[in-house]
Amino acid sequence: METRTALVTGAAQGLGQEFAVALAGCGYRVAGIDVVPQPRTAARVPAYLELVADVTDEDQVAAALEQVIDRFGTLHVLVNNAGVYPESAFEETTPEEWRRIMRVNLEGPFLVTRAVLPYLKAAGWGRIVNITSAAVLTAPPTMVAYVASKAGLIGFTRALASALGPYGITVNAIAPSMVRTATAARTVGAGGGFEHVRAQQAVPRTQEPSDLLSTLLYVVDEGSGFLTGQTLDVGGGSACL
């Protein structure tokens, strides 16, 4: 098998960083996009291609993809991980905040996927993985905009899988619970969010980034070509209770 190339969005920290490290550990050449520099990710990933770009800006995405192709010549895997998850009462959500959440969580994956698609088609093999959320199933009342954006990403996953199956490209989504990352701890976790979510799960502990790595590697595996259009709920059984 030729050496595969993967692109991870939101790769500076948290889940995106761990995804980049895991893919590199399986032999992938890895590029990462984030709105900030990624020195910690670069320190953990051999020959890492660090791309500073905003996934909601079409021109910046195109320029980043040019760098990927110039460096690696091809692309096989896209992980749409970049996202925002602010909490607020629905009545306090402004139209501007609603649009920001939709841009990052839904339009960003659309723009990046559209940009990488010609390269995946040219390679004749591809894996697109969208990171959604188990919150789509648990529906927390203070995250209406976030839940709506992630539900849209599930619909995007299903329809795109139908469109890309003939090209040897699979499209799947992974839905985590609230993962212990620095950003989550600073935002939704600061007011007891981890404890609240943990109480709703069948698995009574806070989810760690490492809990998602085997699922990601399974979805992108060479042998997973018959798995597409699916959302894999890795939420600790939160939807079961």
Domain with residue 137: its CATH number is 3.40.50.720
Could you list the active site residues?
Answer: 146
Position 217 in a domain: yes
Rounded to the nearest integer, the mean pLDDT of the chain is 91
Position 44 in a domain: yes
The stretch 29-54 carries a mean pLDDT of 97
The stretch 26-47 carries a mean pLDDT of 97
Position 67 in a domain: yes
Position 115 in a domain: yes
How many domains does one find in the chain? 1
Residue with tokens 């894996």: 127
Residue 241 has pLDDT above 50, yes or no: no
The stretch 43-72 carries a mean pLDDT of 98
Q: How far is CA 177 from the centre of its chain?
A: 13
Q: CA-to-CA distance for 181 and 170, rounded, in angstroms?
A: 28
Position 241 in a domain: no
Q: CA-to-CA distance for 67 and 32, rounded, in angstroms?
A: 11
Q: CA-to-CA distance for 195 and 178, rounded, in angstroms?
A: 10
Position 155 in a domain: yes
Q: Which residue has the higher pLDDT, 120 or 143?
A: 120
pLDDT at 74: 95
Position 239 in a domain: no
Position 114 in a domain: yes
The stretch 186-215 carries a mean pLDDT of 76
DSSP letter assigned to residue 174: E
The stretch 17-34 carries a mean pLDDT of 97
Q: DSSP secondary structure string, 47-68?
A: T-EEEE--TT-HHHHHHHHHHH
pTM greater than 0.85: yes
Residue 75 has pLDDT above 80, yes or no: yes
Range of the domain at 96: 5-234
Q: Please give the single-letter amino acid code of residue 34.
A: D
